[in-house]
Chain A
Amino acid sequence: MDKVSDESKGNICEYLTFRLDREEYGIDILKVQEIRGYEPPTRIANAPSFIKGVVNLRGTIVPIVDMRLKFNCANAQYDAFTVVIILNLHQRIVGIVVDSVSDVMGLIPDQMRGAPDIESIIDSDSIIGLGSLGERMLILLDIEKLMSGLDMGLVAEA
């Protein structure tokens, strides 16, 4: 919510950018708690395939979502470079697996484009817009909305 007001004021929003296959995504840096290497989680029975399981994050049990499986990327390998971004959303902590983290970028409103109406696996409500940086296109995600969606299976149906 506060992002909207920031944009209207013309402030720079900072995004953490990461790669999934050949696509580049950006999420609000303030939602990111930390970045870690991938360690095999404890599998949870009957969970969707993109929920890899849970890990121990300094005493807290944190679910791990593989975004590559969620977004149907062709290959999802786990190697020394696979990265987990730990997000802090609404007092809940969630880890997402991505291919790599690129950098943190400040975007001014001029660089942001509205998301075109397209058919995609990502619910269009979860896309804030597209960031245009020269040749690069950044898909800006509303990670909070995306993660709290029922299809993520992270929250029980109320």
Chain B
Amino acid sequence: MAEAHHESSGSSADFDLSQFYQIFFEEAGENLDLMEQMLLSLNLETADDEELNGIFRCAHSVKGGAATFGFSDVAELTHQMESLLDKLRRHELNPNASMVDVLLESADASRGLLACHQSGNAGQGPATANLVSRIRSLVAGETPPVVAVTPPEAPMAAPVVEPLAAPQSLPAAAPITIDGPRHLEIRFTKLDQPHQADAIVELFRDIPGLGEIKPITSKSGAADTRVFEVQTSSTNEDLLDLFAFHVSREHVTIADMSASGPHEGVQEPVGADALAMTASSAAAAQGFGFFDGAPGSPQSQVPELVPNAAPVVDVSVTKVVQSVAKSPAVSNAQPEAATIRVAISKVDQLINLVGELVITQAMLAQNSRALDPAVYQQLLTGLTDLDRNTRDLQESVMSIRMIPMSIVFSRFPRMLRDLASKLGKKVDFVTQGEATELDKGLVEKITDPLTHLVRNSCDHGIESPQDRIRAGKPETGTITLSASHQGGSIVIEVRDDGKGMSRQKILTKARERGLDVSDQMSDAEVWQLIFAPGFSTADVVTDVSGRGVGMDVVKRNIASLNGTVEIESSEGYGMKVSVRLPLTLAIMDGMSVGVGNEVYILPLSSVVESFQVKSDAVSTVGQGAQLVKVRDEYMPVIELEKVFQVPRYDSDKTSDIMVVIEADSSRVVLLVDELLGQQQVVVKNLESNYRKVPNVSGATILGDGKVALILDTGALVRRSRH
């Protein structure tokens, strides 16, 4: 991962999104699975908002990702699903079984499309036009078209490409390809439910360019048979593929009407007699059986069977051969799984165990120091090796979790570029602090919220070039994304110089939605309103934003990381969203200082300098606020001994070492007894089992297994101001 990143940052001009494809495919797969589970467990009568919101969020996430990566077919389908779900959760429609059906099928189809994209075969996925139209009609409140009885394997069939043994040895029957418009008669026979065929008519209506269809009254007049007259330029192959959604292949026969009379020699090119019919349908059934990936659909049977069937020149067999021939290339192109997704808790456990190992090792080293090297040479050599190995191990384990923010940031330039051009805006994207290392768990969870924030900035924040010029701003807007460690937290900021938020507009919208608001609310409180579920001030709902789902999700995701979101906005000048995350497992360079018998850790990044002073160098102001002069600058002095009420057993000793720290762009001096050293420390959360302690940002475990508190320099600086 790290290497891939360096390469890509080296050639920064052209961002290679493909390194994130895998993550997206995994995330999308999880979201679709989750959505399926929720859909399946959805109780139609008692569906509550939370469930519907959950399903909606899944669809929304998939759509967002698909749009980011340019998978427009997936984005379109999920956009339709989202529209339907949006109506459901707004109670404009009541959920019913056919909606659930169509949503499940759409989820399957999305999965199929994604699989195609993943294997690099865009455009070979299941056709979605029919699904899209079905969802549209549901959204419009119509009764569903009667096509619910879709063969379940059909949407899955195309994408699931399984590598097959010896496909090249198959006799490759040439597919029937005819250019130009053709006049065909298509006959559907032995239908269980004749109305299935009616869906075919809709298919022609929905897919532009497919051609025209006209029903013909069948001569035989059998109830289970439908005949259509079709003008199309598509191949039989494609037609059969399309029909497969509604009618199984063995029921379909296609005849060329321009070649023969309209009602004679009907099945000529397709396999006329009953024998051929059986063979072809058997072949077709076999073909679908193995594409389904079901156990007990032996792959070896296909090569055996195909030669028998091939002379009959059946279209469906041709299809099988074609797919089979393609599959080796596909499976080669499919990237080896270079990553493993592992539960964070397992990594945490590993880190804790390694920490224990390091401490045990330190203890052994301590106890063996007194041994005579001449006598215990082997033991001591072993201990030295152990020392080195444990350190290496610790480093490797730690590095599992830490990745630089640039991994997240580099997702955005492309997305913003596409988005900006779609919206007709000009946007510059600036990133700061890409090297800030962030815990892997946090990175994964912060990516989606950040995506939402950046999209929001572009969509709602930045004005169109004309508006910007009118407002006296440069034509090109700027979106800045920055990451930094601040006061024991990681702060990620999304800033834009757009139009900011309108207090009045938000209050008006909030009243419309029946939220409890008043004009006396502070700005900060008003901005918090946009985090309410379903809140949106956008006038138009686009596929980018405006449904009001984004900020709700952002807040929820960040709150689940124990983080906070703050908004600053100035109408006409832009806004800033700051995401503050606690350092749950960030590694930090720390300086350990001693006060009395206790040890505290200072973040090295905030330490400016340290020096020894005589006690008379400190002057007091008023009733005891202390100041010390450091190179012509007076700085407030904070005695750690007093702040932390450190007990003194040795009254002779006093703190005479001063450490200058800087936080929030102001400096204070800390008075400590001694400087103990510098080390990398793993920041542990005190709040997971205890509570927030004033002036302390976290805790860490020292080499001897003791806990040391990490000072919150930001809080100490603020304390000196009051």
Query: Does chain B have a CB within 8 A of A146?
Result: no
Residue of B nearest to A53 (CB): B707
Q: Which residues of A contact B708 (CB under 8 A)?
A: 42
Query: Does chain A have a CB within 8 A of B355?
Result: yes
* The stretch of A58-66, A115-123, A130-138 that contacts the partner chain: A58-66
- Given A44-B709, A56-B707, A61 and B689 touching (CB < 8 A)? yes
Determine whether the beta carbon of B689 is less than 8 Å from that of A44. no
Determine whether the beta carbon of A94 is less than 8 Å from that of B689. yes
Number of A residues whose C-beta is below 8 Å from B?
24
Q: Which residues of A contact B699 (CB under 8 A)?
A: 42, 54, 61
Query: Does chain A have a CB within 8 A of B643?
Result: yes
Which of A42, A93, A155 is within 8 Å of B691, CB to CB?
A155
Determine whether the beta carbon of B686 is less than 8 Å from that of A61. yes
Min CB distance A62 to B, Å, is 6
Min CB distance A32 to B, Å, is 16
Q: Which residues of B contact A8 (CB under 8 A)?
A: none
Query: Does chain B have a CB within 8 A of A37?
Result: no
Query: Does chain B have a CB within 8 A of A67?
Result: no
Determine whether the beta carbon of A61 is less than 8 Å from that of B706. no
**Bound complex: CA A130 to CA B525 (Å):** 50
Determine whether the beta carbon of A61 is less than 8 Å from that of B688. yes
Which of A46, A58, A154 is within 8 Å of B690, CB to CB?
A154
Residue of A nearest to B705 (CB): A56
Query: Does chain A have a CB within 8 A of B352?
Result: yes
**A-contact 0/1 string along B635-669, CB 8 Å cutoff:** 00000000111100000000000000000000000
- Given A42-B598, A43-B598, A60 and B707 touching (CB < 8 A)? no
- Given A45-B645, A154-B690, A156-B692, A59 and B707 touching (CB < 8 A)? no
Name the interface size band of chain B.
20 to 34
Determine whether the beta carbon of B689 is less than 8 Å from that of A59. no
Residue of A nearest to B701 (CB): A56
Q: Which residues of A contact B351 (CB under 8 A)?
A: 59
Query: Does chain B have a CB within 8 A of A9?
Result: no
Q: Mark out the residues of chain A between 83 and 104 whose CB falls within 8 Å of any chain B CB in the assembled complex.
A: 92-94
**Bound complex: CA A41 to CA B701 (Å):** 12
Query: Does chain B have a CB within 8 A of A55?
Result: yes
Query: Does chain B have a CB within 8 A of A10?
Result: no
**Bound complex: CA A157 to CA B684 (Å):** 21
Determine whether the beta carbon of B644 is less than 8 Å from that of A60. no
**Bound complex: CA A155 to CA B688 (Å):** 10
Determine whether the beta carbon of B356 is less than 8 Å from that of A41. no
Q: Which residues of B contact A63 (CB under 8 A)?
A: 689-690
Which of B688, B691, B706, B707 is within 8 Å of A153, CB to CB?
B691
Q: Which residues of B contact A55 (CB under 8 A)?
A: 707
**Bound complex: CA A19 to CA B686 (Å):** 29
Count CB-based A-B contacts (< 8 Å).
71
Query: Does chain A have a CB within 8 A of B174?
Result: no
User: Which has the most chain B C-beta neighbours within 10 Å: A42, A60, A93, A154?
Assistant: A42
**Bound complex: CA A155 to CA B644 (Å):** 20
Q: Which residues of A contact B352 (CB under 8 A)?
A: 58-60
Min CB distance B104 to A, Å, is 35
**Bound complex: CA A41 to CA B352 (Å):** 19
Determine whether the beta carbon of A45 is less than 8 Å from that of B693. yes
Determine whether the beta carbon of A92 is less than 8 Å from that of B689. yes
**Bound complex: CA A89 to CA B598 (Å):** 29
Q: Mark out the residues of chain A between 35 and 54 whose CB falls within 8 Å of any chain B CB in the assembled complex.
A: 41-47, 53-54
**Bound complex: CA A45 to CA B693 (Å):** 8
**A-contact 0/1 string along B348-375, CB 8 Å cutoff:** 0001110110000000000000000000
Residue of A nearest to B351 (CB): A59
Min CB distance B636 to A, Å, is 19
Min CB distance A92 to B, Å, is 5
Q: Which residues of A contact B353 (CB under 8 A)?
A: 58-59
- Given A54-B699, A56-B701, A61 and B707 touching (CB < 8 A)? yes
Determine whether the beta carbon of B690 is less than 8 Å from that of A54. yes
Query: Does chain A have a CB within 8 A of B390?
Result: no
Q: Which residues of A contact B261 (CB under 8 A)?
A: none
Determine whether the beta carbon of A42 is less than 8 Å from that of B689. no
**Bound complex: CA A153 to CA B692 (Å):** 10
Min CB distance A59 to B, Å, is 3
Q: Which residues of B contact A153 (CB under 8 A)?
A: 691
Residue of B nearest to A93 (CB): B689
Min CB distance A105 to B, Å, is 28
Q: Which residues of B contact A44 (CB under 8 A)?
A: 690, 693, 696, 709
- Given A43-B598, A44-B693, A156-B691, A54 and B686 touching (CB < 8 A)? yes
**Bound complex: CA A116 to CA B342 (Å):** 53
Query: Does chain A have a CB within 8 A of B486?
Result: no
Query: Does chain A have a CB within 8 A of B694?
Result: yes
Determine whether the beta carbon of B691 is less than 8 Å from that of A154. yes
Query: Does chain A have a CB within 8 A of B685?
Result: yes
**Bound complex: CA A54 to CA B708 (Å):** 9
Which of B644, B646, B689, B696 is within 8 Å of A62, CB to CB?
B689
Residue of A nearest to B702 (CB): A56
- Given A42-B709, A44-B709, A61 and B691 touching (CB < 8 A)? no
User: Which has the most chain A C-beta neighbours within 10 Å: B355, B356, B644, B689?
Assistant: B689
**Bound complex: CA A153 to CA B689 (Å):** 12
**Bound complex: CA A47 to CA B351 (Å):** 29
Min CB distance A136 to B, Å, is 33
**Bound complex: CA A60 to CA B688 (Å):** 9
Min CB distance B699 to A, Å, is 5
Q: Mark out the residues of chain B between 249 and 295 whose CB falls within 8 Å of any chain A CB in the assembled complex.
A: none
Q: Which residues of A contact B686 (CB under 8 A)?
A: 54, 61
Q: Which residues of B contact A94 (CB under 8 A)?
A: 689
- Given A41-B707, A44-B709, A46-B645, A59 and B355 touching (CB < 8 A)? yes
User: Which has the most chain A C-beta neighbours within 10 Å: B646, B705, B706, B708?
Assistant: B706
Q: Which residues of A contact B706 (CB under 8 A)?
A: 42, 56
Min CB distance B710 to A, Å, is 11
Q: Which residues of A contact B690 (CB under 8 A)?
A: 44, 54, 61, 63, 154
Q: Which residues of B contact A61 (CB under 8 A)?
A: 684-686, 688-690, 699, 701, 707
Q: Which residues of A contact B696 (CB under 8 A)?
A: 44
Residue of B nearest to A51 (CB): B690
Q: Which residues of B contact A58 (CB under 8 A)?
A: 352-353, 356
User: Which has the most chain B C-beta neighbours within 10 Å: A41, A47, A59?
Assistant: A59
**Bound complex: CA A43 to CA B644 (Å):** 9
Min CB distance B190 to A, Å, is 60
**A-contact 0/1 string along B665-705, CB 8 Å cutoff:** 00000000000000000001111111111111001010001
**Bound complex: CA A61 to CA B353 (Å):** 14
**Bound complex: CA A71 to CA B525 (Å):** 43
A-B contact pairs, 18 of them (CB 8 A): A42-B706, A42-B708, A44-B690, A44-B693, A45-B645, A45-B646, A45-B693, A46-B645, A53-B707, A54-B686, A59-B351, A59-B352, A59-B356, A61-B684, A62-B689, A92-B688, A92-B689, A154-B691
Q: What 7 A-B pairs have minimum CB-CB distances, sorted nearest first? A: A59-B352, A45-B644, A42-B707, A156-B691, A63-B690, A56-B701, A61-B699
Known contacts A41-B707, A44-B709; 5 further A-B pairs (Cβ under 8 A): A45-B645, A47-B693, A58-B353, A61-B688, A156-B692
